[in-house]
């Protein structure tokens, strides 16, 4: 699963992998979008083995770090 606020930037990269890759729009500061992305990936792939967020290294314009949004739905996935 590849996610980005602007997923159109990922489609060309993901194309050679076909059905093995799922590209979704995701704003990591939006808890509902996180839940939706996890549910969609679980339905498509049956399980999520690992999750990594590259956005955690940055900060939002309002000064909040990406880590300020709790992601309990990701912690439950095993």
pLDDT digits 0-9 by tens, 5-63: 888 888 988 899 999 899 999 888 888 998 899 899 999 998 877 776 665 544 444 44
Write out the residue range of the structural domain in which residue 19 sits: 2-76
Give the per-residue pLDDT at 30: 87
Q: Which residues pair with 24 in a beta bridge?
A: 3
Q: How confident is the model at residue 4 (pLDDT cuts 50, 70, 90)?
A: confident
The residue among 68 and 55 whose pLDDT is bigger is 55
pTM above 0.85, yes or no: no
How many other C-beta atoms lie within 10 A of the C-beta of residue 63?
Answer: 7
CA pair distance 28, 34, nearest whole angstrom: 6
Domain count, the chain: 1
Q: Tell which phi-psi region holds residue 46, choosing left (phi > 0), alpha (psi between -120 and 50) or beta.
A: left
């Amino acid at each position: 699963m590849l996610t980005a606020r602007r997923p159109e930037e990922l489609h060309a990269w993901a194309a050679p992998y076909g059905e093995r890759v799922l590209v979704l729009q995701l704003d990591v500061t939006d808890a509902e979008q996180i839940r939706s992305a996890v549910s969609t990936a679980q339905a498509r792939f049956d399980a999520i083995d690992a999750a990594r967020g590259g956005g955690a290294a940055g900060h939002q314009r309002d000064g909040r770090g990406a880590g300020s949004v709790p992601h309990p739905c990701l912690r439950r996935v095993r």
